[in-house]
Chains A and B, each alone.
Chain A
């Protein structure tokens, strides 16, 4: 992992010798005053994309799943790709907020708030797809063990889809609570800054649950926060492992692989980190948070990307080796077909973006060149989306019986749905930047207050 021990010559986490008051000012700046034109443009585009997606989904509901490019052989494609992609994005948030907290990684303070928000929005985006991909989505509630008059006809706990239902709902709940608890002190800060007794003030006072900022409150708060972190940590591992079992427990060559759980978790954190990078780089530019999200943060996160990217690369290699080593012709074909078959181009994109490009981060010059970092982080996001696409589609479209082989081309309805999910995500995120402190003021202060030589976490 990144800097475990605290060196003497370590530059401060927060640049520009901020006073505590300045911190509050800087972070809250975007929240008071009119939003910038940039923000408006961003929101407009996002809402447009969102409404496009809503229209597409509505049309699909009225007409039928047939409006997607699926067929008797390829029963899952873009929808499930998006689902896995978004769930993956979410992971970085939980990782940063929970695991790094437990590991006393104090640099996380600048990014954890945004990362957690990202997690929640990503999980919302993800959760939509398993529902709409159903042939009869209006019966989705049958996925829950509800009492009924069908002679105690219940759900099938053997089905990985069932596990998904539980995993994702748990994940969402924990993430939400964790994020909210983290927000409380800052909500209070904002509350206190608001003059007058307008509705905004009342809102913030309500949600800050009468936070007083006394030592006792802080004590309780940190106890709770620590517990939640401990609760959240296993989820980082479990959720994507379970998602990966949607594929690993099947018997389709290319899906039926024991390596999937760790491979998916690594991939998830990989894509999540990349997404955090992307968002943070934009945020620090547009919201003038350069002092809080410093090159050091970027540097640490790029190292994360490099590490997890290499893990993913290793996983790719292992898959191919196992296929070759297994001597199972179906397995072997699945992978040759994946690399050189009709969807070879997708495979190429995936390898270049996920394995090759991140390797550039070995060089310090690349890590410090924000433009390059931004581009690479974008590429990684693209690559990780394609990874899911490749795993799902190339495995399905040519399985056991050659007679049933089929191709797959997405319809415009599917593309629109994909765009819509991004629209939803960015709409939520932009609103978040505007109306909530996107940096954990309280925690950052804890880092600013002491100089870099002190040890111990934000306590």
Chain B
């Protein structure tokens, strides 16, 4: 009798545990691997819009990738190269112009709240374009999406020189509203790619992607 009860309890518990495990299994990954990480950024910058629709080349903003270990994040002044002129959506400007014509006044300068953050960061007054006395310049703290462990030295230079497309590691950024980590960025992922390109080459070009440990660890 007791034995049967025990058996029932055990089996039920086992079934429950299994189902729970199965549901969470998708989320289980090794420590330090953050595939799918998609943090909220201080400015709702859309890579889809810039890199996708507007076709801005990656290296225009991330200019370091070609010459430095880090791709880097553009300085606010780089953004300003365009956003000095583009301050809000075309539609909003249109609407304002019409409104102004009706009220026959000069159209007001519209600045979208997101772009306003750029002006605030630089501490300049968008209308005059001069430093605003009441604002102190302060940089924008973006949240890093693709992190490799501190004991791993990834170098953008080599990969850009070899002609590896950015999307190879960063995924289809040009389709993302908010950037998400697509790949695992695990060591196995790196090494397998290195092994593969040594056979296939990159863009038809023969490459020598070292798989020595000291390629990344020193």
Interface size class of B (residues with CB under 8 A): 10 to 19
Residue of B nearest to A151 (CB): B191
Bound-state CA distance A152–B30 (Å) is 14
Q: In the complex, what's the smallest C-beta–C-beta distance from B185 to chain A, in angstroms?
A: 10
One digit per residue, 1 when the CB lies within 8 angstroms of any chain B CB and 0 when it does not, for chain A 141-156 equals 0000000111111000
Per-position binary interface string of chain B over residues 186-213, scored 1 when its CB falls under 8 Å from any chain A CB and 0 otherwise: 1111111001000000000000000100
Tell me whether B33 is interfacial, beta carbon within 8 Å: yes
| Chain B residues with CB below 8 A from A151, complex form | 187-192, 195, 211
Contacts of A152 in B (CB 8 A): 188
* B184 and A149 form a contact (CB under 8 A): yes
Closest-by-CB residue of B relative to A152 is B188
The size bracket of the interface on A is: under 10
Give the contacts of A416-439 with B (CB-CB under 8 A). none
Whole-angstrom CA separation of A148 from B188 in the bound complex: 8
> Which A residues are CB-close (under 8 A) to B187?
149-151, 153
Whole-angstrom CA separation of A151 from B30 in the bound complex:
14
* Smallest CB separation, B96 vs chain A (Å): 53
Interface of chain B: mostly helix, strand, loop or mixed:
helix
- Of residues 20 through 45 on chain B, the ones whose CB sits less than 8 Å from some CB of chain A are 30, 33
Q: How far is the CB of B87 from chain A (nearest CB, A)?
A: 46
Q: Of A148, A150, A151, A152, which is in contact with the most chain B CB atoms at under 10 Å from its CB?
A: A151
Smallest distance from the beta carbon of B152 to chain A beta carbons, Å? 11
A150 and chain B: residue at smallest CB distance: B187
* Across-interface contacts of B186 in A (CB, < 8 A): 149-150
Q: How far is the CB of A175 from chain B (nearest CB, A)?
A: 31
Q: How far is the CA of A152 from the CA of B190 in the complex (A)?
A: 12
Interface positions of A from 133 to 165, Cβ below 8 Å from B? 148-153
Q: Residues of B at under 8 Å CB distance from A? A: 30, 33, 184, 186-192, 195, 211
Other A-B contacts than A149-B30, A151-B189, A151-B195, 15 sampled, CB-CB below 8 A, are A148-B30, A148-B188, A149-B184, A149-B186, A149-B187, A149-B188, A150-B186, A150-B187, A150-B188, A150-B191, A151-B188, A151-B191, A151-B192, A153-B187, A153-B188
The 16 sampled A-B contact pairs (Cβ below 8 Å) are: A148-B30, A148-B188, A149-B184, A149-B186, A149-B187, A149-B189, A150-B187, A150-B188, A150-B191, A151-B189, A151-B190, A151-B191, A151-B192, A152-B188, A153-B187, A153-B188
